[in-house]
Amino acid sequence: MAAAARILNVESPGDVLSPSTANGYLGCSAKIYFRKVLKLPDPPTGALTMGSAVHAAIGANFEQKMETRVDLPGAGVQAIYNEAWDLLVKGQYPSPHGGKPSLPTEFRDDENPAELKAQGLALAMKYLDEACPEIDPAAVELPVGGTINGVRVRGFVDLLDSSGCIIDLKTAARKPSEISSDYKFQVATYAQLAPGATGKARVDTLVKTKTPQLVQIACTVEQSDFDATARLYPLVQQSIRAGVWLPNRGSNLCSRKYCSFWRACQECYGGKVAD
């Protein structure tokens, strides 16, 4: 079937990878199978919707800053955030990458929509005040693509500044102490594909504590990171084409709380997914 798809110039799973797909496959290939192959619904939680609304507001700020060289006023960012939140909750927010809008938000039992919305706005305003003035954006949501060790790879760089540094904005419940291997893999990918990228990167994490915190951790891509992309992309592609899809029941994220596919996972593989 994969060969027929390529003859018809239709992409089949594994033909083109992204850092998120490769990292996702290594984390739990069954989840990629349910999402990419079976295309089962995967509605965002309230926490994910909050992060997307923050990204939308800050991204809009940097898009206009590339033209005017100044940041939006707080009221402007607040208006964009509120509109993005409302559309995301309804599943009506247009995909920044040209795809279909996301599904309506499914808030978990322990998530309060009003509190989350207010918390996200506070995080966006903190980033606008503390980080944005020092950032000179060169590209926002930059599409990139190319070949790494024979594998077609594509993705989107959240933000590339004028010095060639890749900046990624994240929201988190806990203060990070280091940069994850997943992010190093992502940056090593983009350093090879994004024009002007220097291999320097920074993760800006907005921490959802009672008093919002901003934690900035910088890194530089090393040869070992490039080696990882050259070795892992072909292995992931080969495994996908061979139909190897396995759940990772030992992952901290393997639970009914964090995974929309737990019912399908139990049906396909047996056993029970933790609460």
| Per-residue pLDDT tens over the stretch 69-90 | 999 999 999 999 999 999 999 9
For 236-250, what is the mean pLDDT?
A: 96
Structural domains of the chain, ranges and CATH numbers in brackets: 1-27+136-242 (3.90.320.10)
Residue 80, pLDDT score: 98
If pLDDT is split at 50, 70 and 90, which confidence band does 1 have? very low
pLDDT (tens digit, 9 = 90+) per residue, 132-183? 999 999 999 999 999 999 999 999 999 999 999 999 999 999 999 999 999 9
Which residues fall within 8 angstroms of residue 229, CB to CB, at 6 or more apart? 148, 149, 185, 188, 189, 192
Residue 11, pLDDT score: 61
- Is the CA virtual torsion 180, 186, 188, 191 positive or negative? negative
Beta bridge partners of 151: 148
Residue 91, pLDDT score: 94
For 28-55, what is the mean pLDDT?
A: 95
Helix (H, G, I), strand (E, B) or coil at 144: strand
| Backbone φ, ψ for residue 137 (5° rounding) | -75, 140
CA separation, residue 112 to residues 12, 85, 86, 259 (Å): 39, 14, 14, 19
pLDDT of 21 above 80: yes
If pLDDT is split at 50, 70 and 90, which confidence band does 98 have? low
If pLDDT is split at 50, 70 and 90, which confidence band does 6 have? very low
| Cβ–Cβ < 8 Å for 98, 55 | no
User: What is the residue-wise DSSP string for 26-86?
Assistant: HH-HHHHIIIIIS-------HHHHHHHHHHHHHHHHHHHHHHHSSPPPHHHHHHHHHHHHH
Residue 113 zone, left/alpha/beta (φ > 0; ψ -120 to 50; rest): alpha
Q: How many CA atoms lie within 13 A of 255 on its CB side?
A: 8
Residue 100, pLDDT score: 72
Helix (H, G, I), strand (E, B) or coil at 179: coil
The whole-angstrom separation of Cα 201 and Cα 220 is 6
The whole-angstrom separation of Cα 144 and Cα 194 is 6
| Cβ–Cβ < 8 Å for 238, 262 | no
For residue 235, give both structure tokens. 């292995």
pLDDT (tens digit, 9 = 90+) per residue, 111-127? 999 999 999 999 999 99
pLDDT of 5 above 80: no
The whole-angstrom separation of Cα 242 and Cα 230 is 19
pLDDT of 105 above 90: yes
Which residues fall within 8 angstroms of residue 63, CB to CB, at 6 or more apart? 137, 140
Helix (H, G, I), strand (E, B) or coil at 137: strand
Q: Please, what is the average pLDDT of the chain? A: 93
The larger pLDDT score, comparing residue 5 to residue 107, is at 107
pLDDT of 19 above 60: yes
pTM confidence score: 0.90
Give the distance between the most distant pair of CA atoms in the chain.
56
Pair type for strands 200-207 and 151-161: unpaired
